Structure 1
Amino acid sequence: MPLMNWDSSLDVGVDKMNDEHQQILSLMNHIYDAREAGRSGPDVIALVDRLGQVTIDHFRDEEAYMEQIGYAGIASHKLIHKDLLDKFTGYASDIKGSGGQVPEKFLTFLKLWLTAHIRGIDMKYSPKADLLKAG
């Protein structure tokens, strides 16, 4: 069973961002599956590193998209991205230091990060945002 499944509540209405969010979710699920199977070591560290790189790339793409559309909340969104990356980096460092042991609190962080960030923060730049406000 995965940590989390993609559903329509995570659809921000921008195909590129949705694709990247799904890639992040997939990596999160791979890390979760590895932990559930009792795996650790270099393979798990590689998954965490890959998630970090995909996230950095995604945040860069997302910020470029927000600039392109003239999104007014970009400055605060960038600060949120920085905070998330700082927290992620701390967890990743701990995981590397432990030989690839993934703590439960890291998985909780990932799940809350993805759901709260996409549903609460990313939806604000979504083309669907006006519809959500009107509805």
Structure 2
Amino acid sequence: MAFIEWNSTLSVDVNQFDEQHKKLISLINELLSAMSKGEGARMINEVLKGLIEYTITHFSAEEEAMKKYQYPGLGLHHIEHKNLTTKVIELQNKLDKGEAVLSMEVFQFLKDWLVNHIMKTDKSYGVFFKSKGIVV
């Protein structure tokens, strides 16, 4: 069973972003799988790097749509994205230096952050876009 399971309650009713959220969930599950199987540090680092890169791409796509359609919650949303990106990049730097290890605590943080962010912050832009008849 996957660590994070996609289900319809996580839908923000924006297909592009639902698909990206599914990909983020898949990458977190892939990272946990690599760690659980005892994959080497190089493999785990590659998966983590892929997760970070995809997260940045996803955040940029969300923020671009919010800006284009003048979503009023863009400022707060950007701050949440920036805070997570900073934390994950710091984690990767610590892992690279041997100052940290991936633990279930880290995975629980990622899961909680992603699910809470989707359920609270992201769903708000979904409602906004839908109310304006915007299809992204």
Question: Any idea what SS the aligned residue of 1:65 has?
Answer: helix
List aligned pairs for 1:83-122, cutoff 5 A.
83-98=83-98, 101-122=101-122
Distance across 2 between alignment mates of 1:45 and 1:100: 12
- Quote the residue 1:69 is aligned against: 69
Question: Any idea what SS the aligned residue of 1:125 has?
Answer: helix
Instruction: Give the TM-score normalised by the residue count of structure 2.
Output: 0.87
Question: Any idea what SS the aligned residue of 1:110 has?
Answer: helix
Distance across 2 between alignment mates of 1:87 and 1:120: 20
Distance across 1 between alignment mates of 2:9 and 2:129: 12
- Quote the residue 2:81 is aligned against: 81
Q: How far 1:13 moved relative to its partner? A: 0.6
Task: Say whether the 8 Å CA contact 2:91–2:100 is kept in structure 1.
Answer: no
Question: Any idea what SS the aligned residue of 1:127 has?
Answer: helix
- Quote the residue 1:34 is aligned against: 34
Instruction: Give the TM-score normalised by the residue count of structure 1.
Output: 0.88
AA at the equivalent of 2:52: G
Measured against aligned partners, the alpha-carbon deviations of 1:27-51 in whole angstroms (never above 9, x if no partner) come to: 0000111122122311110000000
Q: How far 1:64 moved relative to its partner? A: 0.7
Question: Any idea what SS the aligned residue of 1:5 has?
Answer: coil
Task: Say whether the 8 Å CA contact 2:4–2:29 is kept in structure 1.
Answer: yes
Number of equivalenced pairs? 131
Unmatched segments (≥5 aa) in structure 2:
132-136
Question: Any idea what SS the aligned residue of 1:122 has?
Answer: helix
